[in-house]
Structure 1
């Protein structure tokens, strides 16, 4: 690969080591100006206790991909969605349908974006898997949010 960088989140390092889709964009102004930064695809991990056997999962992948790309401002072809079902999840002291989702992204995340992600992904899970929005938890990692100390 030829481009070496250090990132605060182990997921990003894992992507680099695995040769994942990574593209570089110039920082600062015009084409090639300033330092370059690495941006990776946003990755959406959806974990649920709902059994996914026999369900058509394509609409969930499509909806989550489109929503994430539109809200974060990345091309759809850079969004990865991982969906795991039939997990042992207890929420509010019971095992009724629930979901835990993590999004890892480099940039594009602020309070407004988080709120849109919560509402939109919650709606998708409610519509597609009958998981009430009150039983959906979203954790967002913005790998650029941690400041790197200047030497």
Structure 2
């Protein structure tokens, strides 16, 4: 169950209400998981600084997934997400930072069980 978490200094009022709905198809395409398994959280109005500059739009993100991450996959994912962030909320690729976490099923739970039991 991929989970994308984004913290940004973009004002919440300037983040489209359907931001997570719009980014889901990109996650489906890049992470290669089904729509119903995708999760996205975005939080605006955060204090984010790149090199001491907190005035320009910026974002820090994490993407956790059970598999489908790796050297080549992550290059593709970051490119597509950075382009989307620029188009949707004005965060340029040089002010978008993402960390990838390829996690094991026993470290993720839903439905009262861990994913290694599903």
Q: Tell me, yes or no, whether TM beats 0.5.
A: yes
Q: Which has the higher contact order (CA 8 A, sep 6+)?
A: 2
Kept in 1: contact 2:15–2:89 (CA 8 A): no
Moved over 2 A (4+): 54-57
Gaps of 5+ in 2: 105-118
Match in the other structure for 1:92: 51
Instruction: State the shift of 1:64 in Å.
Output: 1.8
Q: TM-score, normalised by structure 1?
A: 0.65
Mapped partners of 2:38, 2:69: distance in 1:
14
Kept in 2: contact 1:63–1:124 (CA 8 A): no
Instruction: State the shift of 1:48 in Å.
Output: 0.2
Gaps of 5+ in 1: 1-40, 145-151
Match in the other structure for 2:12: 52
Mapped partners of 1:55, 1:125: distance in 2:
10
**Greater C-alpha radius of gyration:** 1
C-alpha root-mean-square deviation of aligned residues, in Å? 1.2
Count of residue pairs brought into register by the alignment: 103
Cα 1:105/1:75, change in 2 over 3 Å: same
- The structure whose residues are more often helix, as a share, is 2
Match in the other structure for 1:72: 31
Match in the other structure for 1:27: none
Mapped partners of 1:111, 1:67: distance in 2:
18
